[in-house]
Amino acid sequence: MRIERLDHLVLTVADLRATIDFYVGVLGMREVTFGEDRKALAFGQSKINLHEAGHEFEPKARHAVPGSADLCFVTETPLDEVLATLTAHDVPVLEGPGDRAGALGRIRSVYVRDPDGNLVEISNYLN
């Protein structure tokens, strides 16, 4: 077996609307409705399915709780523009910009938290 890529992941969230507003309004993802009125966030070739805490879909992670994820997103938007967007939306930057190791090489990242406290890393690949 050889895994090719990540298709989607699931976030358990306390408040669907607050999560959608953050990821769509700040990070520029798209809100998607699928199945029986389920919600997801689409970006690039991937998506994040959303489960509201207490109303999760089966099967699910054994300990699905809001705020337990650590996510890294890659953008081609320069980090100075990312920082300006975060500032405009009053999203505090926890750390960065700083250099890190990404899946395909060196990245420069900033870190913020989403409404549930998940750690969100926003990165540019370095040439």
Catalytic residue check, 52: no
Q: How far apart are CA 5 and CA 50, in angstroms?
A: 20
Contacts 24+ apart (CB under 8 A), 50-53: 50/10, 50/11, 50/13, 50/16, 50/19, 50/20, 51/10, 51/11, 51/12, 51/13, 52/12, 52/13, 52/14, 52/15, 52/16, 53/12, 53/13, 53/14
Catalytic residues: 121
